[in-house]
Homo-oligomer: A and B are copies of this chain.
Amino acid sequence: MANDKFVEKITSREDDFAKWYTDVVKEAKLCDYSSVKGCLNYLPNGYAIWENIQKNLDQRFKETGVRNVQLPMVIPESLLQKEKDHIEGFAPEVAWVTEGGGEKLEEKCCIRPTSETLFCDVWKNEVKSYRDLPLVWNQWCSVFRWEKTTRPFLRSREFLWQEGHTIHATHEEAEKRTINMWNIYKDFFEQELAIPVVTGRKTESEKFAGAEATYTVEAMMHDGKSLQSATSHFFGSGFPDAFDIKYLDKNNKLHSCYETSWGLSTRTIGAIIMVHGDDSGLVLPPRIAPIQARIIPIAQHKEGVLEKAQELLQKLKDINIRCDLDDTDKTPGFKYSEQEMLGIPIRIEIGPRDIEQNEIIVVRRTDRQKITVKIDELETRIKEILESIQNDMYQNAKSFLDHHIFEATTMEEFKTIVEKEIGFVKAAWCGNSECEDQVKADTNGFGSRCIDESKLLSDKCICCGKEAKHNVIWGKSY
């Protein structure tokens, strides 16, 4: 096949998953390492995926009353220090600005690693009365954390994300918002990205620095490891109290406020790659794919072929299919493998014979299944095919996830699973963080991903044998 040249560049998924991943990122030109140490260049193919994620999520947020803002990218040291747990969590990994405008600064500032403190700083002026609440804000921005080891999309010093921050008059309302945003993430992953997820509360030792509770969305990658994909935090009154943000109720009585924050980052692109990708490259779910269909003309030098291809392109654009036409002078084989590498959900082949028959060949990226479509039925059929690809992708990923969650009631069982299988293990736990650490040490890195509130698998902790409190989903993670 003419496309070998292109495809042979990537490592097989089974041979070396990590290498396969970086090969896909590179060959699909999603991002690359900047010469700025530890930072990424988000290239057009990768950034276009992020733009679609933004558009979709932003609309979901706004439907629940979220308003976007933009706060500064730097935080003075004194501001970062206002909440004790928070500064302890972030201080070691920040970058400090110490000079500006040719002078040494009186107070150094860090590039924001997250913006809880900045939102509180605005709110201490905005919030006076119950009439000012709630404030439900979000910002799309990048943050900076001084990571030692980096991997494209998964871990880099600078990454793109959204961080929502909200402040409420009551504990109950803030908790409801935390759960609401968590559900939006879950739904977004399943509906738009075709990625089934495991969801639950984080244990004490895994929760966000300064939060009372952290709710997580975890996705299983093709190598069985978990990617923490989105989190929603309930802060209680810790932050607002530290910043002295109080409100007067209708009776002029002063009260504490309650906060939440919630975020999803460009890690999500890593999840899409590692859940759906295959040995031919990226596979994008149609709902999020920047290009949903690529038209590849066959024997394009023959009269009428390019004209017909152009006509098709216009027809598809008219029904809001995101599509393009590859009319370069590359061979069709090369074009096919390029379209596959980029993960474009369908390609449409059209040549002289097809034109005669008034039909096209649609090839599904997921399984290369070829479907002959009458041009008269183009509009409905293409939409159906894209929808069926989206569903199949979800079902495949769901089936993979379901087959890779194991249950253990003894450490022996747990260890046997870990030796033989990839995936997650569900096991009961006493709630003690020492047991959590011990399990991780004994199982070659299966940490607690989240608490699972379903019926206890055992009344004894898998580790110490004392009374179990919850099931926990254990797994390796990125």
Q: Footprint of B on A, CB under 8 Å?
A: 32, 34-37, 39-44, 47-48, 50-51, 67-76, 79, 92-102, 108-109, 111, 118, 121-122, 125, 137, 141-142, 144, 146, 148, 157-158, 160
B97/A95 in contact, CB under 8 A: yes
Number of copies: 2
Residue of B nearest to A108 (CB): B99
User: Looking across the interface, which residue of chain B has its beta carbon closest to that of A122?
Assistant: B41
A75-B41 contact, Cβ under 8 Å, with A97-B111, A99-B96, A102-B92: no
What chain B residues lie within 8 Å of A92 (beta carbons)? 101-102
- A72 with B158, Cβ < 8 A, contacts A100-B96, A146-B101 known: yes
Flag if B35 contacts A47 (CB, 8 Å).
no
Q: Whole-angstrom distance between the alpha carbons of A43 and B102 in the complex?
A: 30
Kindly name the residue among A72, A92, A125, A142 whose own CB sees the greatest number of chain B CB atoms within 10 A: A72
Complex alpha-carbon distance, A109 and B34, angstroms: 13
Cβ contacts under 8 Å, A74 to chain B: 36, 39, 95, 111, 144, 158
How far, in angstroms, from A41 to B71 measured CA to CA in the complex? 5
A42 partner residues in chain B, CB cutoff 8 A: 69-71
Contact between A44 and B137 (Cβ–Cβ < 8 Å)?
yes
Can you pick out 12 interface pairs between chain A and chain B where the beta carbons lie within 8 Å of each other?
A: A36-B76, A41-B70, A42-B70, A50-B70, A74-B144, A74-B158, A94-B100, A95-B97, A95-B100, A96-B97, A97-B111, A102-B146
Chain B residues lying within 8 Å of A125, measured Cβ to Cβ, are 32
Residue of B nearest to A146 (CB): B101
Q: Is the CB of B146 within 8 A of A100?
A: yes
